[in-house]
Structure 1
Amino acid sequence: MGYFAAPLIVAILTAILAAIITVVDSLVNNYGEVELDINEGSKKIKVDGGNPLLTTLSEQGIFIPSACGGRGSCGACKVKVLSDIGPILPTEAPLLEENEKKEGIRLSCQIKVKEDIKIEIPEELFNVREFKTKIESIKDMTHDIKEVRLELLEPESIDFKAGQYSQLIIPKYGKIKEQTQRAYSISSVPSDKSHLEFLIRLVPGGIATTYVHEHLEEGQNLNIVGPFGDFYRRDTDATMVCVAGGSGMAPIKSIIEDMYEKEMFDREIWYFFGARSKKDLYYVEYFEEMEKKMKNLHFIPALSDPEPEDKWEGETGLITDVLDKYLKNQIDNEKEKEGYLCGSPGMLNACINVMKDNQMKEDKIYYDKFA
């Protein structure tokens, strides 16, 4: 479990520091009206100063991805700032690469709109929308994972790529006094434009997952924002090496189902799914059936700590060890390979290292790393 600890500690400390800075700044400053210049004048907006750029943009209907809901722990809300707004903050530094710092990339959840500011964002973000939805069904997939199916009400349809994610807008509830957002990968297929499905694992103390598991009910309304993300299948002939654990099943399931619908049966897919014991496995029979329909799909579930009563005869050990074994002994080394990963930051980092050790190119490894 060691490789899970460091990213979690950094995320917690960063979030605490971000909260302190926000509170202090709000108490002592009033910035008046300022202008946002987006993409070299393609959009100019007058706004009240003082709020984080992420919040200011969302209030104007421009949604920047933020897997952590603006807590300063995921690093997803990066924008390019063309104006001089001061040095990089301590809350940003751990989440920015050195080349990003030189290019003016900043975390929009951390920088305040204090004066006129020029920024650049990807054009596709102008197409991101907020959707009103209704909870159509909630199903228990394991003891701590629920599948939530949403019907889109307004707008009534959505276009997305298999593998992308949306952000659920979690309302105030119980002791939670403010609305927040969290990112979840879409598990359904793009062909169903009027519904979305998500696989959501309960995280003890998690604001969003607690709401979904303990408060959300069928028939309720829930707003979402999306779609986001560049985690999707690349249109090549490379062998796909997919790795997921827990609710990381979602985008891989969407990608494989999408390929099945499009009759893309020639491309080889190896899908490694890691779980602790049999009670943490789900969709096993589904993917075993998919293997029969897709001649080049190989589904490899593995248990790291199976219980005696599991009577497990499949692969055992850490998913990284299983992945390494197959890359060395089973998967054709002569063919180009691409990695598709979804899971915790620690698991992903370990899998990326295994892939690189087995001569997979780092720029061909794609992932969503939700903090």
Structure 2
Amino acid sequence: MPHKIALNFEDGITKFIDSGESESIADAAYRQGINVPLDCTNGVCGTCKAFRQSGEFDPGSYIEDALSDAEAAQGYVLCCQAKAKSDMVIDILASSGACKVKPKDTMAEIVDVKALSAHRIRLSVKPLEGAFPMFLPGQYVNVTAPTETVKRPYSFTSAPGADVATFLIRNVPGGKMSAYMAATAKKGDRLVLNGPFGSFYLRAPRRPILFLAGGTGVGPILSMLEHLAARGANDQPVRLVYGARNDADLVEVERIEALRARIPKFTYDTTCSGPGSCHPLTGHVTDHFSAGALNNGDVDVYLCGPAEMVESGRQHVAKLGLLPANIHFEKFAPASEAIAV
């Protein structure tokens, strides 16, 4: 049976291909119009070396000069030799342009657009034909309103494969897309979604996970949580610390609570940092996790939010003196910096 392979390129574009168990990853990619870097086809040159994020495979045969034992142990594969034995996620060590990959346009229509607070909007859309392009939980698309000249990147908050895709949008004063979403957008309006893009996505859970989210940075983490809930049993503890400046902007908490019931070992805390907050927990995200959350370094950390929040989170983790096994982050920056998240 064919397996689905996600190819992640250095410029953030992801392309999904189907691969049979009898064909190499490179042959499957070429058959579907993607020219992964390749100088030979017999495991000699090493040009097609890529990094396996997840998935099972037959490594094939090759010489030590092309792929050393140490590199293979780290997770590298040769695309001209490796054959998928399950769905896989692979980092291609080249840009999508070098491999002649074009991001896909999907025409969609608005199902719902709802103001969750003065500064937060939830957008729900469905494709006009077929399904949305596959994406990894945490990735984004560039969204364009056909009647507008502006496009903006928004992360999916829904799980891959959902019939309706959702996005959490920050309403930025003076922002063109924000003005459209807040005052003009309505059910039935058509949008163009271009992508998917981004290297901030959920890796296969092999150890405890710590999610740190600020403002609308909770959006891609919601997609990750939805994916964890949809895939069923997960033995690893999952913790989320989610913060906003204003109480009213701490949105989607009911959704997070519903996810807590669906994900084993999932816990979360919410906090507000603005003056005069009435929230049970106040302060910044970094005020509400300590060294214990890092599990002696055996943890994957995902950080997403405004640039200053991400940097303070990284600095706080460093000060705790326990280097995480992996730390992934994405900084959200609006087109206009008129207000702070």
> If the TM-score is normalised by the length of the shorter chain, which range does it land in?
0.5 to 0.7
Worse-matched range after superposition: 356-365 or 282-291: 356-365
Q: Give 1 or 2: higher helix fraction.
A: 1
Alignment of 1:118-267 (within 5 A): 121-122=95-96, 126=101, 128-154=103-129, 156-171=131-146, 173=148, 179-192=149-162, 194-267=163-236
Aligned-pair CA distance for 1:265: 2.9
Aligned to 1:64: none
Tell me if the contact between 2:146 and 2:190 (Cα under 8 Å) persists in the aligned partners: no
**Out of 301, 310, 328, which is 1:348 matched to?**
310
Check 1:307–1:125 CA distance in 2 against 1; reply closer, same or farther (3 A cut).
farther
Alignment partner, residue 54 of structure 2: none
Contact 1:338 1:360 in 2 (8 A): no
Q: Alpha-carbon deviation of 1:148?
A: 0.5
1:121 and 1:303 mapped to 2: Cα distance? 39
> Would the alpha carbon gap of residues 363 and 121 (structure 1) be closer, same or farther in structure 2, given more than 3 Å must change?
farther
In the alignment, is residue 318 of structure 1 matched against residue 288 of structure 2?
Answer: no
- In 2, distance between residues paired with 1:207 and 1:124? 34
Mapping 1:1-371, distance limit 5 Å: 121-122=95-96, 126=101, 128-154=103-129, 156-171=131-146, 173=148, 179-192=149-162, 194-305=163-274, 307=276, 310=278, 312-313=279-280, 315-322=281-288, 326-328=289-291, 330-331=292-293, 333-334=295-296, 336-361=298-323, 364-371=326-333
**Separation of aligned partners in 2, 1:273 and 1:361:** 21
Contact 2:234 2:264 in 1 (8 A): yes
- Which digits, 9 at most, give the CA deviation of each residue in 1:239-285, with x for residues without a partner? 21111122112111110111011114311111011112321212223
Q: Classify the secondary structure of the residue corresponding to 2:166.
A: strand
SS, match of residue 305 in structure 1:
coil
What secondary structure does 1:249 align onto? helix
SS of the residue aligned with 1:190? coil
Partner AA of 1:129 in structure 2 = K
Question: Structure 2 stretches of 5 or more lacking a match?
Answer: 1-34, 40-93, 334-341
The 2-side partners of 1:358 and 1:201 are apart by: 31
Gaps of 5+ in 1: 1-37, 43-119, 174-178
Q: CA deviation at 1:124?
A: 7.7
Deviation digits for residues 58-107 of structure 1, max 9, x if unmatched? xxxxxxxxxxxxxxxxxxxxxxxxxxxxxxxxxxxxxxxxxxxxxxxxxx
| Residues 359, 289 of structure 1: alpha-carbon distance in 2 compared, 3 angstrom cutoff | same
> How far apart, in 2, do the equivalents of 1:360 and 1:274 lie?
23
Aligned residue identity for 2:182: H
C-alpha RMSD of the superposition: 2.6
Contact 1:337 1:360 in 2 (8 A): no
Change over 3 Å in CA distance of 1:265–1:359 after alignment to 2: same
Return the offset for 1:362: 6.9
The question of whether the paired residues in 1 share the 8 Å contact of 2:239 and 2:268 is answered with yes
- In 2, are the aligned partners of 1:352 and 1:362 still within 8 Å (CA)? no
Q: 1:151 to 1:236 in 2, by over 3 A?
A: closer
Q: What is the CA deviation profile of residues 16-43 of structure 1, one whole-angstrom value per residue up to 9, with x for unaligned ones? A: xxxxxxxxxxxxxxxxxxxxxx98899x
Judge conservation of contact 2:215–2:245 (CA < 8 Å) in 1. Answer: no
The alignment partner of 1:317 has SS state of coil
TM-score, with length taken from structure 1: 0.60
What is the percent sequence identity of the aligned residues? 27
- Aligned mates of 1:256, 1:276 — CA distance in 2: 22
CA distance in 1, matches of 2:230, 2:102: 25
Q: Contact 1:39/1:121 (CA < 8 Å) preserved in 2?
A: no
In structure 2, do the counterparts of structure 1 residues 41 and 331 end up closer, same or farther at CA, with 3 Å as the change threshold? closer
Q: Secondary structure at the match of 1:333?
A: helix
Question: In the alignment, which residue of structure 2 is the partner of 1:76?
Answer: none
Change (3 A) 1:39 1:296: closer
How far does residue 222 in structure 1 lie from its aligned partner after superposition?
0.9
Q: CA deviation at 1:369?
A: 1.9
The DSSP-based 3-state class of the residue aligned with 2:268 is strand
Which position in structure 1 is the counterpart of 2:63? none
Q: Is the 8 Å Cα contact of residues 239 and 267 (structure 1) preserved in structure 2?
A: yes
- Give the whole-Å Cα distance in 2 for the aligned partners of 1:317 and 1:125: 47
Which amino acid is the alignment partner of residue 184 of structure 1? Y
What is the aligned residue count? Answer: 244
